[in-house]
Homo-oligomer: A and B are copies of this chain.
């Protein structure tokens, strides 16, 4: 069986540098130009320097409403000894009016005293050109207005028109063709079967590139067929400056794009030492860049940002795109492979006057972390660990203002928290919700790595929630009671196997679906089983684990299991039957200092508002009778 081999696998910087220089040698960055009307030239890049064709302004004019005078006539005028000017010594002018021949200054109307006999009094001397807009003051005919490769702004367009320039030569827009590949790729709107993947990369690639000024055409997906891929490329190259294939670039058995490019052109790099983003092919075919992007969304996005964007910027001869960074304290320990640069997507917030970053899902396949991230931190190759609490440099993808306005919510999540965050937006508070589990939440608050945490920790000794743990783990805490959630058995609609108690799980005809070890729900199950003296091995499917309430319910919904333990709400969502077992308490642990933050008051107000209660009442299995009660414990007292 074939082993994976990346030919020419390279570190990112080296690969990019080499790729850009090879493209330069191929003449790819030689400016290709076109003429456009100034009115349509916004954001376009000038191909060459532009010179004024007329002076701005094109005549000497009054800069204010007032009287035109000769500065020499105004000497020695003062508040105490005003100077009188006769009808021949001044002329009334309005803003923009040409300066009358022989006059060289203007006195504002406010500073003029008009007398009965038609003469005026003035109260201070004025120098030549005072309040006069002189010809060419703004730009002089033949002046160079802009250098080559300048990107035109709104105000630039105004100056060009003022200077008599109505058409400019600009760099031709980069035209790019995008080709999704893979037999498993299907239209997202189609009925999805297992084994098929909705094609969601092309919209990402298209809109990402359009923001960079690239004209993009997306083709229909092409299957895993090197011949077809090759002929597609040959058809596109004459018409496009850049061709991007998505997927099929990984090494090994499915590396069809690589095989096609290998035949037609030069492979500059095959495989990059980055995560995500490794399965990338950088090729040059017919002197044009052809790139095989990875199919996993996070990988695709990383290569777009780190490889495709620089190529586009080089085409437009732009080198100063904004990249802002800030130093943040890393909330969790990160392990990374020594061989690769890893790009870790993070959520950012300001907690107690320093920035904190929390790594989001790191999988290459995740899209959600791309939508949630506020920034990216790089774990450079050679470094295997970033310690919890370590200061790291994070590249910003959100504005600092947005981050400063963000509250970090960690721990175990509940659908109600999302609904709460939606209501908070109206009040100008942004909640960034990151799941790290209940214990992770307690730890984060203990280390001041978040503003608030959602927790539901069952203590089997006292058979109560949260408080026993908090007393053990923290010296002093602030807990805000949130909601009781009904836990129970999710079963088929109509409960065909009439499952009534946990006892029924040992029946041979009942297939159970379990939650993963250490999850709150799993701990709860094992507690009840031991109380009932039921052995795990007696339960058919006990070892069959899922990661979320929802995936447990889905298994049941799809008939892959008959029962699973989850909260009532998911049964309602999925229209399944539900056998109540017990209420668990889901509460909010608050960073003590945050209690005095006005934004906490906002959260509290919204949480206890009728708007929020109305939301809760639509969700079954919640009891919010204690909502808003604050349990405070301060060891120092």
Q: Residues of B contacting A371 with CB < 8 Å?
A: 145-146, 153, 155-156, 159
Contact check: which of B144, B421, B560 meets A422 at CB < 8 Å?
B144
Complex Cα spacing A61 to B198, Å: 14
Q: How far is the CB of A254 from chain B (nearest CB, A)?
A: 7
Q: How far is the CB of A537 from chain B (nearest CB, A)?
A: 12
Complex Cα spacing A57 to B295, Å: 14
Q: Residues of B contacting A110 with CB < 8 Å?
A: 3-4
In the complex, the chain B residue whose C-beta lies closest to that of A204 is B158
Copies in the assembly, this chain:
2
A294-308 CB contacts (< 8 Å) to partner B: 297, 301
Inter-chain pairs besides A136-B547, A317-B425, A321-B399, 18 sampled, C-beta below 8 Å: A3-B109, A54-B192, A57-B365, A98-B194, A101-B560, A138-B368, A143-B418, A143-B550, A147-B421, A153-B371, A154-B211, A155-B301, A157-B203, A158-B201, A166-B188, A320-B405, A322-B399, A324-B400
Contact A65 B164 (CB under 8 A): no
Q: Residues of B contacting A155 with CB < 8 Å?
A: 204, 297, 301, 367, 370-371
Q: Residues of B contacting A205 with CB < 8 Å?
A: 154
Q: Residues of B contacting A428 with CB < 8 Å?
A: 319
Instruction: Choose, from A17-25, A126-134, A330-338, A603-611, the stretch at the interface.
Output: A126-134
Dominant SS among interface residues on chain A: loop
Q: Please, how many residues of chain A have a CB less than 8 angstroms from a CB on the other chain?
A: 124
Contact check: which of B162, B297, B361 meets A198 at CB < 8 Å?
B162
Contact B147 A422 (CB under 8 A): yes
Q: How far is the CB of A319 from chain B (nearest CB, A)?
A: 6
Q: A109-B4, A129-B545, A157-B207 are in contact. Are A137 and B56 (CB under 8 A)?
A: no
Q: A135-B551, A320-B401, A401-B321 are in contact. Are A42 and B207 (CB under 8 A)?
A: yes
Any B CB within 8 A of the CB of A104: yes
Any B CB within 8 A of the CB of A516: yes
Any B CB within 8 A of the CB of A593: no
Complex Cα spacing A263 to B59, Å: 36
Q: A253-B65, A402-B320 are in contact. Are A367 and B158 (CB under 8 A)?
A: yes
In the complex, the chain B residue whose C-beta lies closest to that of A98 is B194
Q: How far is the CB of A193 from chain B (nearest CB, A)?
A: 9
Q: Residues of B contacting A164 with CB < 8 Å?
A: 188
Max chain B CB contacts within 10 Å: which of A135, A139, A154? A154
Contact B548 A140 (CB under 8 A): yes
Complex Cα spacing A55 to B365, Å: 14
Q: Residues of B contacting A4 with CB < 8 Å?
A: 65, 109-110
